[in-house]
């Protein structure tokens, strides 16, 4: 994924070869990380129960809004002629970054939260999928972060995922 331009905060990326299909494959797995189960404090504390319910409701609404937005994400798939283009306004670039981060963390959790220095042992076939999700999400995150922090105008050609 290569940043073509950043103008007025809008990002324009080019996805070459299988990148558009890989991004669609990845985003189809959202949400992987269930942030709706988070709590503000120990679940035994009664004062936190109402706040926890409000937090879960807000996170569920946010997740639903982002899932709906992903359905409209303007990325052409593998059936389209490459290169595909992806244009994002600043708010949606942040959304995509958060979605990718949720996917990466969710895959990491499903892999048993391995230490980066620990040897990776795949003991089940689905672990290969979670490893692919984790690695792909990280690559697309890096391209987005680079785009969000790039200067105005055309990007340097080395910004690829």
Pick from 23-32, 34-43, 127-136: least confident: 34-43
The reply to whether 144 falls in a domain is yes
pLDDT, one tens digit per residue, over 80-101 is 566 788 999 989 999 999 999 9
Q: Is residue 134 a contact partner of residue 108, using CB atoms and an 8 Å limit?
A: yes
Domain count, the chain: 1
Pick from 19-23, 24-28, 46-50, 154-158: least confident: 154-158
The reply to whether 64 falls in a domain is no
Residue 36 above 60 pLDDT?
no
More confident residue, 150 or 120: 150
Residue 143 lies in domain: 2-35+77-154
Pick from 19-23, 47-51, 117-121: least confident: 117-121
pLDDT (mean) for 46-69: 84
Pick from 68-77, 107-116, 132-141: least confident: 68-77
Q: Give me the DSSP letters along 52-106.
A: HHHHHHHHHHHHHHHHHHHHT-----TTSPSPEEEEE-HHHHHHHHHHHHHHHHH
Query: Against a cut of 0.85, is the pTM above it?
Result: no
- Say which DSSP state 80 is in: S
Please tell me the predicted confidence (pLDDT) of residue 77.
Answer: 47
The reply to whether 59 falls in a domain is no
Find tokens 């790039």 and name the residue: 150
The reply to whether 146 falls in a domain is yes
User: CA-to-CA distance for 74 and 94, rounded, in angstroms?
Assistant: 16
The reply to whether 101 falls in a domain is yes
pLDDT (mean) for 30-56: 68
């Amino acid at each position: 994924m290569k940043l073509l331009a950043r103008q007025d905060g809008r990002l324009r990326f080019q996805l070459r070869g299988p990148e558009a299909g890989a991004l669609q494959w990845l985003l189809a797995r959202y949400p992987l990380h269930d942030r709706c189960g988070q709590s503000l404090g120990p679940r035994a504390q009664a004062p936190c129960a109402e706040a926890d319910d409000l937090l879960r409701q807000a996170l569920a609404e946010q997740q639903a809004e982002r899932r709906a937005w992903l359905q409209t994400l303007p990325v052409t798939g593998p059936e389209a002629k490459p290169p595909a283009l992806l244009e994002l306004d600043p708010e949606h670039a942040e959304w995509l970054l958060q979605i990718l981060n949720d996917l990466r963390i969710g895959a990491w959790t499903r892999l048993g939260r391995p230490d980066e220095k620990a040897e990776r042992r795949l003991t089940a076939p689905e672990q290969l999928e979670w490893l692919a999700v984790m690695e792909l999400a990280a690559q697309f995150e890096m391209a987005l972060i680079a785009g969000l922090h790039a200067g105005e105008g055309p990007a340097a050609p080395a910004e690829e995922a």
